[in-house]
């Protein structure tokens, strides 16, 4: 403790004050000198004892901080006494608790990243393996023209699937990172629905499916047209995939003082009850999913909608169709 300059300066000032007091007491009597001397010694001793105690407490806090920096977040430093050291202890505890929570979140992010990489590797491995086998077949000079065209067409389909997967993952990563700046435009739902239907009209024609649109042309909400249409497209693709040939997809929309609602429903084979809680999880494929399903479209739709002050829920029964209910709220409550 005495090695610290501030302590030596403090003691020097105390002795100077004591000496001045003793010299002043000399003008009175020897008894006054003794009293002043004893009081000065007691005050200096009390000051040293208090300073020593403070240094011990600070040393303990330094030890706690070293343990915390080493990753030990289980220390409980909370102090119910008054004083600046108690305030410091409580603040250190708050920081420790915050670091503990951040460490847990980082660990969860690390696990999610590992799982995502594993899922992506799995999704890419199947088409790549298939294409490698087909390229081996294509190198056969005796391969018929019909089979050559068939393998070439299959490779193209697999490449388009990989391209869509990579593109979707890039979009999702941008949304997760918070780098996407969603526009705040006034969008009419009718315009949104017509824009989203364009990419799925050909698959619907192939399966001879029909679409029914109901809603007032003035219904609108505030959002980003392009990103929201991306979400609706993925929902419509899901409906087309799960609906049999000749099926019907209905789209209705309305608004009130609280929110604008869009309901997309089909009369397809539906989603199993045990799959409903996980339908918006990435790479999740339900029991009724097709072989070519990747399980990322609905996850992206969910991210886009929820990041625009919206909400989406799904109701479905196995064999009775599926209904997606989307709400864009007027303001954050």
Q: Pull the structure tokens for residue 19.
A: 């000496």
What does the alpha-carbon distance between residue 95 and residue 25 come to, in Å, rounded to a whole number?
A: 52
Query: Can you list the domains of the chain with their CATH numbers?
Result: 5-100 (no CATH), 119-177 (1.10.287), 185-329 (3.30.565.10)
Residue 219 is predicted with a pLDDT of 93
Residue 3 is predicted with a pLDDT of 64
Residue 73 is predicted with a pLDDT of 63
Residue 62 is predicted with a pLDDT of 77
What does the alpha-carbon distance between residue 231 and residue 196 come to, in Å, rounded to a whole number?
A: 9
In whole angstroms, how far apart are CA 80 and each of 4, 53, 86, 87, 90?
Answer: 30, 18, 7, 9, 9
Q: Which of 189, 192, 191, 171 is nearest to 180 (CA)?
A: 171
Residue 259 is predicted with a pLDDT of 93
**β pairing state of 220-223 and 185-188:** antiparallel
The single residue listed with the structure tokens 């196995």 is 318
Residue 101 is predicted with a pLDDT of 78
* pLDDT tens by residue, the chain, 333 residues: 566 666 667 777 777 777 777 777 777 777 777 777 777 778 777 877 777 777 777 777 777 777 777 767 666 666 656 667 677 777 777 777 787 777 777 787 777 667 667 766 766 777 788 788 888 888 888 888 888 888 888 888 788 778 877 887 788 778 877 778 888 999 999 999 999 999 889 889 989 999 999 999 999 999 999 999 999 999 998 899 888 889 999 999 999 989 999 999 998 888 888 888 888 887 776 665 555 566 778 888 999 999 998 999 999 887 788 999 999 998 755
Residue 209 is predicted with a pLDDT of 92
Residue 329 β-bridge partners: 259
């Amino acid at each position: 403790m005495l090695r610290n300059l501030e302590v030596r300066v403090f003691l020097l000032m105390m002795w100077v004050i004591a000496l001045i007091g003793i010299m002043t007491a000399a003008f009175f009597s020897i008894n006054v000198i003794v009293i002043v001397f004893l009081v000065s010694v007691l005050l200096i001793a009390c000051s040293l004892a208090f300073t020593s105690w403070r240094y011990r407490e600070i040393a303990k806090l330094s030890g706690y901080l070293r343990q915390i920096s080493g990753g030990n977040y289980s220390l409980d430093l909370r102090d119910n006494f008054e004083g600046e050291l108690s305030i410091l202890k409580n603040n250190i505890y708050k920081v420790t608790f915050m670091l503990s929570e951040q460490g847990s979140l980082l660990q969860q992010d690390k696990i999610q990243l590992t799982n995502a990489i594993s899922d992506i590797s799995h999704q890419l491995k199947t088409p790549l393996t298939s294409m490698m086998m087909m390229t081996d077949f294509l190198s056969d000079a005796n391969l018929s023209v019909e089979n050559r065209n068939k393998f070439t067409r299959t490779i193209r389909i697999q490449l388009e699937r990989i391209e869509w997967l990579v593109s979707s993952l890039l979009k999702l990563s941008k949304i997760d990172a918070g780098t996407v700046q969603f526009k705040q435009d006034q969008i009419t739902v009718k315009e949104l629905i017509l824009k989203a239907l364009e990419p799925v009209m050909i698959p619907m024609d192939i399966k001879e499916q029909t679409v029914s649109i109901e809603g007032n042309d003035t219904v609108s909400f505030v959002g980003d047209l392009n990103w929201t249409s991306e979400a609706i497209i993925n929902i419509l693709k899901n409906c087309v995939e799960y609906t049999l040939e000749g099926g019907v997809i209905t789209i209705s929309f309305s608004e009130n003082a609280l929110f604008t609602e869009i309901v997309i429903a089909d009369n397809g084979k539906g989603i199993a009850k045990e799959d409903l809680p996980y339908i918006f999880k990435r790479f999740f494929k339900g029991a009724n999913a097709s072989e070519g399903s990747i399980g990322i479209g609905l996850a992206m739709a969910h991210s886009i909608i929820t990041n625009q002050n919206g909400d989406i829920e799904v109701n479905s029964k196995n064999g009775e169709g599926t209904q997606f209910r989307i709400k864009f709220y007027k303001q954050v409550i």
